[in-house]
């Protein structure tokens, strides 16, 4: 295996609506930021891969136009996934592992603001049984939260505590959209949105993006004093059929964590893409994280949740803390689909 | 109009390879009739904002003008402007007026029309380079026999009536020939 590291991370200041900008205008400064941090240009990049969704843009082949923000001239090797950017990073990592590239730019973005996000997300469901019922994404997450509470694995108070902790640490995150929290008692006094979920249990709806630069071996050392080496990377999927799953657990996270080698060392920090409060409890357990692991020091997706980017941002947040020396070893998690259906786990390490 | 099999459009073209095959429904289990179709209404509504630079383009169209975005490094003008120069990946340094007259860079003769606004077939679709722009726009050419259309031909846009002008590219109904000498096709290389 080749040594591959994240050497640069740049993200938007996420907002509810970047109404005046199109996707290209929104993502271009983010990509430029990733290059400027390491004094590089697109000419230094062998492969580009992005993650975005036409369903969010409300426009076919929207990702092709966002390539304007890359400067794809002369013609270059490029790919796209209709998934969270963490999976675009996976593709780029494979490309580097296969020896076809030494460097890669990975970016992901979405504007959820033009559409009705909970309804748009219902289109991830199968078209015959669930899809025709148009259940919104919050209601589906509510089913999972109810199953968790009924199984005694969480409580409304424990969920409020998770919301409170994430949004409180988000006060220190310059990119966060929702910063600070009312007290847990005040949160629990709020009405339900989709019983048992209250507004604080749900992620904000965000417009924003992220860009990450990967490099192999010596190139990584050249661009970063302390690269965030990707020591393990794996992704797994559970059934799309809710009735065939135990919604209170995540076998796919556990398997991916095992394959990525999460347990092979102390985990200083974990950035989990758990948009709903109860899902953090599922992910922490499935990953086997101990009490000494700091979970979501950025505030996680409860503080900002740009679809398609939120998972790649988790890798970026861990990488930043390794590059600046705050952490030696961290775990990043990305998810796609409803109720943590599909999951990617990355283990990042610094050296020296 | 193509024939309809209840609510399913069956396209029948002269080339059978392009036509849709018949559906064969297998007999279902039990005594009931096999389920042949389910109806699932699906619609998502979006409030689409074109962005800063495309908004300038659309506002200009309402005044029968074309504008493009200027590359900060090469000075090339891209139309429609999207706020970023596609060759360098940097924000454009502003918008400038171009055209509205232009030159055919390439074209094709359309024999199968799609959409309610398509002219009677055959007609010519073309890429048209507005004067001062680096890339071409898409348009329909009318008011000339199709066999006389050629690369390098000069054109002008035909706009909808003033009281029908909106912030839409459809303000240009079509393009028609100008009585001007052709442009040397060599000068059009790289501008499609």
Domain count, chain A: 3
Do residues A39 and A102 both lie within one domain? yes
Do residues A66 and A142 both lie within one domain? no
Residue A28 has its nearest CB partner, among B40, B46, B84, at: B84
Residue B88 contacts A where some CB pair is shorter than 8 Å: yes
Mean pLDDT, chain B, as a whole number? 88
CATH number of residue A254's parent domain: 3.40.47.10
Do residues A238 and A306 both lie within one domain? yes
Of A145, A166, A201, which one is at a domain's C-terminal end?
A: A201
Do residues A148 and A282 both lie within one domain? no
Residue B83 has its nearest CB partner, among A22, A32, A114, at: A22
Residue A171 Cα, gap to closest chain B Cα (Å): 30
Of A191, A223, A255, which one is at a domain's C-terminal end?
A: A223
Do residues A265 and A286 both lie within one domain? yes
Q: What is the pLDDT of residues A77-105, one digit of tens each?
A: 999 999 999 999 999 999 999 999 999 99
**Integer Cα distance of B95 and B60 in angstroms:** 11
ipTM of the assembly? Answer: 0.87
Do residues A109 and A139 both lie within one domain? no
Do residues A127 and A30 both lie within one domain? no
Do residues A89 and A213 both lie within one domain? yes
State pTM to two decimals.
0.92
Do residues A160 and A173 both lie within one domain? yes
Do residues A333 and A307 both lie within one domain? yes
**Integer Cα distance of A271 and A347 in angstroms:** 11
The answer to whether the CB atoms of B49 and A25 lie below 8 A apart is no
The answer to whether the CB atoms of A71 and B89 lie below 8 A apart is yes
Residue B20 binned pLDDT confidence (cut-offs 50, 70, 90): low
Q: What is the pLDDT of residues B154-189, one digit of tens each?
A: 999 999 999 999 999 999 999 999 999 999 999 999
Residue A305 Cα, gap to closest chain B Cα (Å): 19
Of A176, A191, A223, which one is at a domain's C-terminal end?
A: A223
Asked if A8 and A103 touch (Cβ cutoff 8 Å), the reply is: no
The dihedral over CA atoms of A158, A163, A169, A173, expressed in degrees to the nearest 10, equals: 160
Do residues A212 and A280 both lie within one domain? no
Task: Outline where DSSP puts E strands in chain B.
Answer: 4-5, 8-9, 66-70, 77-78, 84-85, 90-91, 95-98, 102-110, 123-130, 137-141, 154-159, 172-177
The answer to whether the CB atoms of A73 and B82 lie below 8 A apart is no
Task: Name the residue range of residue A58's domain.
Answer: 4-116+205-223
Q: What is the pLDDT of residues A270-282, one digit of tens each?
A: 999 999 999 999 9
Do residues A257 and A209 both lie within one domain? no
């Amino acid at each position: 295996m080749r040594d591959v590291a994240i050497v640069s991370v740049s993200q938007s200041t996420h907002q509810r609506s970047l109404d005046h900008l199109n996707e290209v205008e929104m993502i271009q400064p983010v990509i430029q930021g990733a290059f400027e941090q390491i004094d590089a240009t697109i000419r230094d990049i062998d492969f580009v891969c992005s993650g975005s969704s036409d369903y969010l843009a409300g426009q076919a082949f929207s990702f092709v136009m966002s390539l304007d923000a890359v400067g794809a001239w002369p013609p270059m090797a490029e790919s796209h996934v209709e998934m969270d950017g963490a999976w675009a990073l996976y593709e780029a990592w494979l490309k580097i592992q296969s020896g076809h590239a030494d460097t890669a730019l990975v970016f992901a973005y979405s504007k959820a603001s033009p559409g009705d996000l909970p309804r748009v997300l219902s289109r991830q469901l199968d078209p015959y049984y669930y899809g025709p019922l148009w259940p919104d994404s919050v209601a589906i997450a509510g089913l999972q939260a109810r199953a968790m509470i009924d199984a005694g694995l969480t409580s409304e108070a424990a969920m409020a505590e998770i919301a409170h902790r994430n949004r409180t640490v988000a006060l220190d995150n310059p990119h966060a959209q929702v910063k600070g929290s009312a007290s847990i008692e005040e949160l629990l006094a709020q009405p339900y949105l989709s019983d048992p979920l209250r507004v604080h249990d749900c992620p904000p709806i965000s417009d924003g993006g992220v860009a990450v630069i990967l490099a192999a071996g010596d190139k990584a050392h050249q661009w970063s004093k302390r690269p965030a080496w990707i020591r393990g990377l794996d992704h797994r999927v559970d059934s799309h059929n809710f009735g065939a799953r135990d919604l209170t657990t995540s076998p796919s996270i556990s398997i991916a964590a095992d394959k990525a080698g999460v347990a092979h060392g102390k985990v200083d920090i974990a950035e989990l893409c758990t948009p709903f409060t109860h899902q953090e409890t599922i992910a922490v357990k499935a990953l086997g994280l101990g009490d000494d692991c700091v979970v979501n020091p950025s505030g996680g997706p409860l503080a900002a949740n740009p679809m398609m980017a939120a998972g790649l941002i988790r890798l970026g947040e861990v990488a930043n803390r390794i590059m600046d020396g705050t952490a030696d070893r961290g775990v990043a998690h990305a998810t796609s689909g409803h109720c943590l259906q599909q999951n990617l786990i990355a283990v990042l390490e610094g050296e020296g | 109009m193509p024939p309809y099999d209840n609510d399913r459009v069956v396209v029948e073209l002269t080339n059978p390879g392009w036509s849709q095959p018949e559906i064969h429904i297998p007999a279902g289990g039990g005594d009931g009739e096999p389920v042949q179709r389910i109806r699932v209404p699906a619609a998502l509504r979006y409030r689409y904002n074109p962005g800063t630079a495309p908004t300038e383009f659309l506002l200009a169209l309402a005044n029968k003008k074309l504008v493009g975005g200027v590359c900060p490094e090469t000075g090339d003008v891209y139309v429609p402007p999207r706020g970023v120069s596609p060759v360098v990946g940097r924000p454009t340094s502003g918008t400038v007026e171009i055209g509205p007259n232009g030159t055919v860079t390439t074209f094709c003769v359309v024999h199968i029309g799609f959409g309610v606004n398509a002219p009677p077939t055959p007609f010519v679709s073309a890429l048209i380079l507005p004067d001062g722009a680096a890339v071409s726009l898409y348009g329909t050419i009318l008011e000339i026999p199709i066999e006389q259309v050629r690369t390098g031909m000069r054109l002008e846009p035909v706009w909808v009536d003033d009281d029908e002008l909106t912030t839409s590219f459809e303000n240009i109904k079509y393009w028609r020939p100008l009585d001007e000498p052709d442009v040397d096709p060599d000068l059009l290389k790289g501008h499609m």
